[in-house]
A and B are shown apart, each in its own frame.
Chain A
Amino acid sequence: MPITTTRRRLLAGSAAALALPAFARAQGAVKPRLTAISQWSAGSDGAAITALGKKFEEKGGVWQHSPVPGFTTEMMNKLRAQIIAGDPPACSQLKGPEIAAWSKIAPTVDLDAVVAAAGYEKVVAPDLAKLHKPGGKWIALPLQIYSTNMLFLSKRAMDKAKADKPPVTWADFNDLAEKMKAAGVTFPVANGGTRADDGQKFEASLAGISPTAYRAAAMNLDKKALEGPEMKAAFVQMRKITNWMDPNVGAQPYAINLKRFVDGDMGMLIMGGWAQGVLKNAGFKLDDFVVAPGPSDNGKPVFLLNADAFIFWQRKEPDLQAGQALMAQLVMDPAIQTMYSQITGSIPVRTDVDLSGEGWSDGQRLTAAALKNAVANNQAVLSLAHNMAQENGLTAAMIDVFTEYAKNKTIKPEEAVTRLAEAVEGSR
């Protein structure tokens, strides 16, 4: 699909303006201005949001973005402070179930009219759309999608193990890891030591073993599913993975190991699609590694969804309201989503963007295809480790169990299952 402005979209835009009298009036009268906060300050994330800001300014807006570097929770602390002070940003980064939680503490903007006018709902995966309209109304807009269980394989490590294709199931994965180990790859699994890193190892295991069990246990916290046999199997698989990891990483992020990964000293990286942007930014070439969907025992790709989004906070100032309307249109725009994803390595939220053109990598095309496939097979689920499945408190309590299990090899898989169920019970 061409990414220029089509007449249909122009029409949609004007319809949106008509449908939103307040926005329309504001837009006519004042210069749109947007105050925004996010955690995206550096690397490909920083570059992408800066590019978005440029587009915003090209449309005549005033772009006031204040990045809060660090983890998402640090950004949230600033957001909390601003909300308590009665001065929320016009727009802020927020995602997953946090959108619903935070929308209860301060009024948000009803985006239904703009979304309807743009015909956006039809091109967003249903599970994802649900997260952004907690009370039945759109109050936030997803910006880009990542899968948290992509499998990155080091070309050199594969050469060492004489492997030519990525593993499909966990059994394949375990085989390949053994081969790599035997062929002199020091650590068949490349890893970091952060909490999210350990969480990802578990969610990838469980979702790969059974997406149905994942949905019931991690997303719906079903008590029976939490104690089910798939949970134990997932912990068993996770123990295998951790045995192949470098124990010396301390609490450092996975990115410090990328050079060892490319060099073939480490073999496989289970990481979100963003690792591709990080690898690219670090100067590595696309043929240094292979990207594949995370292992899935039924052979069909399982997609652990992580989507960044913007939530819009109610403001009285006409220029901010105009800015919100402009921002909403930009975020839904396929051209903008294309630009954004090409910088960060994610895939667009819109399912109707064509990724065959230049500027997209094979990894991104494969991710997009995997998402389509996973949605069709009902195997697209929300990531637990990246706060898409549960609110922060519950997620953190569950990750406590994963991270302790990853580091303490004396905890048996069945004990871990019990502990996880207890942790869920304790923080409900």
Chain B
Amino acid sequence: MSNVVSTATRPATSEMMRRLPEYLMIWVPLLLSAAHLISFSIWTIWISFTPSTLVPVSGWVGLRNYNSVLASRNWQIAFDNLLLFGIAFVLLSLITGLLLAILLDQRIRGENVLRTIFLYPLAVSFVVTGTVWSWLLNPGIGIEKLAHDLGWSTFHFDWLVNRDMAIWTIVIAAIWQSSGFAMALFLAGLRSVDADIIRAAQIDGAGPIRTYLRVILPTLWPITITVVVVQLQFAISAFDLVRALTNGGPGIATQLPALVVYDLMFQRSQLGRGAAAAVLMLLILLAVLLPYAAWRYVQRRQATHA
């Protein structure tokens, strides 16, 4: 394969000149953003080892900031919440998205309209989602009050102000917002399944459910993994939604790592500890992205060999 490439792009000055705009367009922004990202990451890592408080200062405190963040109740709650929120949100949005996609795939009328409706929440900012849901879920003015006003006085739905259930309100709002995204990807996947395979399954006597479970869904798993990874990194960095919906409350029951970072850096003026929390978040993110990158690498190798 490499032979083919090298003969095709044998150096010729005019050829280089012709492709120059292309290189500029791709490499300059790429290098700039990479430099940006990497330099700030390194800077944050450095700050996390310094005694910085109000402003960045140099100095070395070893792991003190990390120990203090890891020992704080805020972080422990945030980490537990992240596990719960991450798993629940990814699984449920996957299931909702897949169901919506399968239902839309039934060649129904008005598919375009429905698809737009389901995808539309994605176009709304998380702050708006959070604010609207905070009104809907507020027992004093939202769904619970509506049910009471309609005469269903025993109806009880106070998750937003219930510290054990509040994290689920974030899951609900996040699913509402992003299951459309999963749906769009799955729908594209469903549409790209070879019609011949489906027909073959039908000829073999498989019913619609069996066809989906045994024939169509197995072809969707690369898409599933993409959706999981994209949603997971959203879950890990979730900030604006929570801030607008519960702001970490009631009390500190719905803290998430990004909130803790923001809180430490910009509310408590403890830059060093905030940076340490940010680095911890980066590590969690890497724990998701590295296996994904490895998987992609293996996939590509297999594809090349095949």
**Which residues of A approach B to under 8 Å, CB–CB?**
71, 73-74, 76-77, 80, 83-84, 101-102, 104-105, 193, 198, 246-251, 391-393, 396-397, 400, 403-408, 419, 423, 426-427
Output the nearest chain B residue to A102 by Cβ-Cβ distance. Answer: B54
> Do A404 and B139 touch across chains, with their CB atoms under 8 A apart?
no
A193 vs B250: C-alpha distance when bound (angstroms): 8
B55 contacts the other chain (Cβ, under 8 Å)? yes
> Do A251 and B269 touch across chains, with their CB atoms under 8 A apart?
no
Collect the chain B residues with CB atoms within 8 Å of residue A193's CB.
249-250
Which 6 residue pairs of A and B lie closest in terms of their CB atoms, listed nearest first? A407-B251, A407-B250, A248-B140, A404-B251, A393-B268, A251-B247
> Do A248 and B158 touch across chains, with their CB atoms under 8 A apart?
yes
> Do B55 and A80 touch across chains, with their CB atoms under 8 A apart?
yes
B138 contacts the other chain (Cβ, under 8 Å)? yes
B39 contacts the other chain (Cβ, under 8 Å)? no
Collect the chain A residues with CB atoms within 8 Å of residue B161's CB.
247-250, 407
**Choice from B140, B160, B252 contacting A246 with Cβ under 8 Å:** B140
Binds A, one of B68-76, B147-155, B176-184, B216-224: B68-76
> Do B249 and A400 touch across chains, with their CB atoms under 8 A apart?
no
Given A400-B252, A426-B68, are A250 and B134 also a contact pair (CB < 8 Å)? yes
Q: How far is the CB of B91 from chain A (nearest CB, A)?
A: 27
A102 vs B269: C-alpha distance when bound (angstroms): 11
> Do A426 and B71 touch across chains, with their CB atoms under 8 A apart?
yes
Output the nearest chain B residue to A248 by Cβ-Cβ distance. Answer: B140
Q: A73-B267, A250-B134, A407-B253 are in contact. List 6 more A-B contacts (CB 8 A).
A: A83-B55, A249-B161, A251-B246, A397-B268, A408-B250, A426-B72
A427 vs B71: C-alpha distance when bound (angstroms): 10
Collect the chain B residues with CB atoms within 8 Å of residue A400's CB.
73-74, 252
Q: How many residues of B contact A (CB 8 A)?
A: 29
Given A80-B55, A248-B140, A392-B268, are A403 and B158 also a contact pair (CB < 8 Å)? no
Given A400-B252, A407-B251, A408-B253, are A248 and B138 also a contact pair (CB < 8 Å)? yes
A393 vs B272: C-alpha distance when bound (angstroms): 12
**Choice from B134, B138, B140, B269 contacting A392 with Cβ under 8 Å:** B269
**Choice from A250, A393, A408, A426 contacting B269 with Cβ under 8 Å:** A393
> Do B252 and A396 touch across chains, with their CB atoms under 8 A apart?
no
Q: Report B248-289 CB contacts with A as 1/0, cut-off 8 Å.
A: 011111000000000100111110000000000000000000
A389 vs B253: C-alpha distance when bound (angstroms): 26
Given A392-B269, A400-B252, are A250 and B55 also a contact pair (CB < 8 Å)? no
A281 vs B221: C-alpha distance when bound (angstroms): 60
B115 contacts the other chain (Cβ, under 8 Å)? no
> Do A250 and B163 touch across chains, with their CB atoms under 8 A apart?
no
Q: How far is the CB of A76 from chain B (nearest CB, A)?
A: 7
A246 vs B138: C-alpha distance when bound (angstroms): 12
> Do A105 and B55 touch across chains, with their CB atoms under 8 A apart?
yes
Collect the chain A residues with CB atoms within 8 Å of residue B139's CB.
248
B53 contacts the other chain (Cβ, under 8 Å)? yes
Collect the chain A residues with CB atoms within 8 Å of residue B252's CB.
400, 403-404
Collect the chain A residues with CB atoms within 8 Å of residue B251's CB.
198, 403-408
Main SS of the interface on chain A? helix
A400 vs B252: C-alpha distance when bound (angstroms): 7
**Choice from A80, A251, A406, A427 contacting B54 with Cβ under 8 Å:** A80
Q: How far is the CB of B159 from chain A (nearest CB, A)?
A: 11
Q: How far is the CB of B66 from chain A (nearest CB, A)?
A: 13
A80 vs B55: C-alpha distance when bound (angstroms): 7
Output the nearest chain A residue to B135 by Cβ-Cβ distance. Answer: A250
Collect the chain B residues with CB atoms within 8 Å of residue A405's CB.
251
Output the nearest chain B residue to A72 by Cβ-Cβ distance. Answer: B267
Given A105-B54, A250-B160, A427-B68, are A403 and B263 also a contact pair (CB < 8 Å)? no
Q: Report B63-87 CB contacts with A as 1/0, cut-off 8 Å.
A: 0000010011110000000000000
A396 vs B54: C-alpha distance when bound (angstroms): 15
Output the nearest chain B residue to A423 by Cβ-Cβ distance. Answer: B73
> Do B267 and A396 touch across chains, with their CB atoms under 8 A apart?
yes
A249 vs B72: C-alpha distance when bound (angstroms): 27
Q: How far is the CB of A161 from chain B (nearest CB, A)?
A: 23
Output the nearest chain B residue to A406 by Cβ-Cβ distance. Answer: B251
Collect the chain A residues with CB atoms within 8 Å of residue B53's CB.
101, 393
> Do A419 and B73 touch across chains, with their CB atoms under 8 A apart?
yes
Collect the chain B residues with CB atoms within 8 Å of residue A248's CB.
138-140, 158, 161
Output the nearest chain A residue to B160 by Cβ-Cβ distance. Answer: A250
Chain A to chain B contacts (Cβ below 8 Å), 25 pairs? A74-B266, A77-B266, A80-B54, A80-B55, A83-B55, A84-B55, A101-B53, A104-B54, A248-B158, A250-B138, A250-B246, A250-B249, A392-B269, A397-B72, A400-B73, A403-B249, A403-B252, A404-B251, A405-B251, A406-B251, A407-B250, A407-B253, A408-B250, A408-B253, A426-B72
Collect the chain B residues with CB atoms within 8 Å of residue A249's CB.
140, 161
- CB contact list, B138-192 vs A, under 8 A: 138-140, 158, 160-161, 163
Collect the chain A residues with CB atoms within 8 Å of residue B263's CB.
396
Q: How far is the CB of A107 from chain B (nearest CB, A)?
A: 14
Output the nearest chain A residue to B247 by Cβ-Cβ distance. Answer: A251
Q: How far is the CB of B249 from chain A (nearest CB, A)?
A: 5
Q: How far is the CB of B132 from chain A (nearest CB, A)?
A: 13
> Do A251 and B249 touch across chains, with their CB atoms under 8 A apart?
yes
Q: How far is the CB of B251 from chain A (nearest CB, A)?
A: 4
Output the nearest chain A residue to B264 by Cβ-Cβ distance. Answer: A393
Most buried by B among A84, A105, A247, A248: A248
Given A250-B161, A250-B246, A251-B246, are A76 and B253 also a contact pair (CB < 8 Å)? no
A400 vs B263: C-alpha distance when bound (angstroms): 11
Collect the chain A residues with CB atoms within 8 Å of residue B140's CB.
246, 248-249
Q: How far is the CB of A394 from chain B (nearest CB, A)?
A: 9
A378 vs B58: C-alpha distance when bound (angstroms): 42
